[in-house]
Chains A and B, each alone.
Chain A
Amino acid sequence: MPLLEGIDPWGLSVALALPWLVGSLLVAVVLRRASPALVIGHGFMAGQVMVALVLLLWDAAGLRLSFMPPAAILAGVAVGLAFVVWRRAGFGRPPSPSRRMLWNLVWMLPLAAFLLERGGVLAQELALRPLYAWDAWMNWVPRAVVWYHYEWLVPFVMPPDWLAAAPEETVYTLGNWRAGDYPPGIPLLLLWQMLGAGTADHSLLYLPWLLLPASFALALWGHLRRHGLVAPAAALAVFAWLSQPFVNTHAVLAGYADLWLAVAFSLGATALAEWQRGGERGFALLAAVMALACVLFKTPGLAFASMLVVGAVVLAIRPPARWVWRIAVACATVLVAGLLLAMHPGLRALIGDGLAIPLPGPLPVLRIEPGPLLPYLWESLFVQANWHLLWLLIAFAFTVAALFRGRPAFENVAVGLLVLALGFLLGLFGFTHYFAQAENGVTFNRTLLYLAPLGVFVAFMLLAPWLGGERVERDESA
């Protein structure tokens, strides 16, 4: 079969399945009462984080990178976790399907048809096409290729450091000036696939990109069902997530890190929402894992991980809701006013060259340069075909929640994190030199992608009181 030539299909299968198994078992141990969908949905990302950590520790110990020993470690961990899960739950007979469950299957048929149709074309395209996406072959894949060749994590540095390196040092640099400083998460998970498959160059190495949105779909389903949504509504949410063209594009033109950061941040936020709702501390631990994933995947992940930490701190100290509300409203007012003022050329001329804010570590210097962001934002959200009607859906959900429930509807950490993240991005692109990136359209949509999965969850969560089977508000006409 030409597709499988040059690749070890069994090794690749283990490379795909083993982290997912280990991650799911870890989540099952951490969360005492969670549905299979939730466990498996979070387990995929948790497994990738474990792979990254195992490879980093293995290399730090000075050991030669290969597939079998780390795989054996992960398998051993899986066995241990499985034992814990078995001891806790026991392997009794599964419950018989109820009439409601069977009726729900009927509602699932359209979703299943969609999944087959969409998944089929995406899988075909991924398998047919050699690595295509620009940033993939410029920034992310080269490190994995070099590590695969050398069997250790050769350092990648900035170009001046490469030039200054001593002759006996082995260091590499990339064709994108700053890419040497990018976090190692994506190259590590690619390296894992390469080690399993026995090659550094094959289309099927990028299967994790195809599985990533599917894993979030499972988590989304699990979370929304926990929030009381009936199965048809949860199915609609899954469709809303998996149908978005920009999500599909990043899954099939694989190799970018943006979808990974999007899912990691969103899983962290949904985990915090569960912690807030039910008090189960396992979700807080899960959110911490997702925050770590954010940091591993992209430099902006530091900001998103920080937001998750802020969310966790707020949940832990539980300040009065009205104070959080007042701060949020004040910040939102300032932001909106600033964005409107920035439409005026006079303001931009007033600030001139403005001030520069140096940021710590690998983060760049921020130059304060207001720009007319609103037209570009409008175009991205409501004109271009990136998201279908996602942002209309989110606006609808916020409106309904505001009208029918008022402020209590928004006292949810997931809502807060969505608004915080959106505010952060609007501030970054609207008031700093990053406006140029919104103007040229290179990174703006990719950063809005970070909000897409959480946006779907928040929209349906806000509508949950009216889309649930048990907690229907009766006799409340429009």
Chain B
Amino acid sequence: MPRSRIGRVWLPAGLSALLGLVAAAATLWLVAPWVVYPSWGSGSANVPPVELGASRFHSELAASALPDKTALNTTGVHPSDPVLVAYPRLVASQYPQLRLDLRRGDPEASLFMFWRNASGSRPIGFTRLDHPRSGSGWHTLADLPGWEGEIAMVGFASLARRGVDPLSVRGASFFPASREALEDRLIEEWSAFRPWSYSNSNKYEGVGDEALLHPTVAAGLWTTLALLFFLLTCRWLRPPRQVLVGLCLLTIFVPWLVLDRLWQRQLEAQVDASAAVFAGLSHSEKSAREPDAALQRYVERLRDRLPAPGDTRIFVLHDSKGHHYWRLRLQFHLLPHDIFNFGRSLERADRMRAGDHLLLLGELGEIVFDPAADVLKDGEGRVPVARVDRHRFGALYRVEGRGRLLQGEGRE
């Protein structure tokens, strides 16, 4: 390309495109608080944040910290469960967002936040927070029912499936709707590490559920505004179409590249997390580090008690509907055994024949084993069996004869 063409055509247009990107970024930065915080009210941006360190929190029984039974009944927190509470004084309308830093044991546990009004005239406010297992996360309080007036108590409780989950709050900071808080929040939310979950095969959000702004939206706005600025300047520059299209393309790919850097950081953090668990192990050793390692050990125990694959069929019963992780993982680990993995009762007893096996996974209260008669039975059917194995995960039986249904025969 002749140097005169570069200097005459590409350079001014290129500078214009670059300026368009800068101008668009500056514009978005300027208007961001009004765009992102529109319903949070004004007048609060200048107040300093209220920061509650770990020492401000102490443990109280839920019954005394949260005398309102509605809050307890709705969240499932028991009156004797511990709640970490602190007693700040802050005006709710001035602090529409919270940065919470904590550590807890069970990543599946539900995290709840409670608050009480200074006047005591309003019911205890509460909400469930979508928070990483450990570490910091931001939460929007502005639109929560009851987050109003003067707040005199805030508390946090973590509820696992099997009772209380140990929780320690390292800090809770309440922020106004200020530009500084917005910058901090966006940076932290966009760069937070989110490890793989099964839903990643269905979609990638890029941020958590409570994020203030998706990075893709921000990049899309940046791109659109930058294109508009550039196209406006082209009315004077009048570059050839080749130059116009090429620079528009670059205008799209600069924000694209920024998004891709965020994604690259996620991938690198994911590799580090995976390496912390699996690095240096052989493939068979990795099984012991998987979340279902206990199930895999149970499967090995079952294999020792089962005939070779192909010599038996296995009916798996479990009290679940749809695609249940535990029973499906068991089926996968038991391969290449021939498995029928549907149902929670003996509704298919008439299909079972001698030599089959029945695996009752977990609690199936309706099905009863009668050791005197060597029979498994429930309201649907009965099957002559011999018990092969009993374990906290399940019970394995060998079918000794043809099963039968109880329909039309009178239920036992």
Contact = CB atoms under 8 A, between A and B. Distances in A.
Interface of A: 2-3, 5-7, 117-118, 121-122, 124-125, 128-130, 132-135, 137-138, 141-142, 145-146, 148-150, 159, 162-163, 167, 170, 172-177, 200-203, 233, 236, 239-240, 243, 245-246, 248-250, 253, 256, 380, 382-386, 388-389, 392-393, 396, 400, 404, 441-446, 463, 466-467, 472-478
Interface residues of B, number: 76
B327 A175 contact: yes
A163 B348 contact: yes
A421 to B, nearest CB: 19
A388 B182 CA distance: 22
Nearest to A118: B264
B256 A388 contact: yes
A462 to B, nearest CB: 10
Given A129-B278, A382-B217, A477-B240, A172 B200 contact: no
Contacts, number: 214
Nearest to B255: A389
Contact of B328 (A3, A138, A150, A245): A138
Given A170-B310, A201-B283, A442 B202 contact: yes
B282 A5 contact: yes
Given A146-B336, A389-B223, A396-B252, A445 B203 contact: yes
A389 B245 contact: no
Q: Which of B235, B260, B353 has the most CB of A within 10 A?
A: B260
Contacts of A7: 283
B340 A173 contact: yes
B336 A150 contact: yes
Contacts of B338: 170, 172
B263 A163 contact: no
A441 to B, nearest CB: 5
A351 B207 CA distance: 37
Nearest to A173: B340
Interface in B209-267: 214-217, 219-220, 223-224, 227, 231, 234-235, 238-242, 244-246, 248-249, 252-253, 255-256, 259-260, 263-264, 267
A392 B255 CA distance: 11
B335 interface: yes
A389 B256 contact: yes
Contacts of A446: 201-202
Given A117-B264, A389-B256, 12 more contacts: A2-B280, A7-B283, A121-B268, A137-B332, A138-B328, A170-B310, A249-B200, A380-B203, A389-B216, A389-B259, A441-B202, A477-B240
A125 B270 contact: yes
A159 B271 contact: no
Contacts of A121: 264, 267-268, 270-271
A256 B271 contact: no
B329 interface: yes
A467 B340 contact: no
A132 B244 contact: no
A163 B351 contact: yes
Interface stretch (B89-97, B130-138, B284-292): B284-292
B340 A159 contact: yes
B173 interface: no
Contacts of B328: 137-138, 175
Contacts of B348: 163
A463 B332 contact: no
Interface string B156-192: 0000000000000000000000000000000000000
A2 B285 contact: yes
List 8 tightest A-B contacts by C-beta distance, closest first.
Answer: A385-B206, A466-B245, A149-B336, A5-B282, A477-B238, A175-B341, A128-B274, A2-B282
Contacts of B206: 245, 384-385
Contacts of B144: none
A163 B339 CA distance: 11
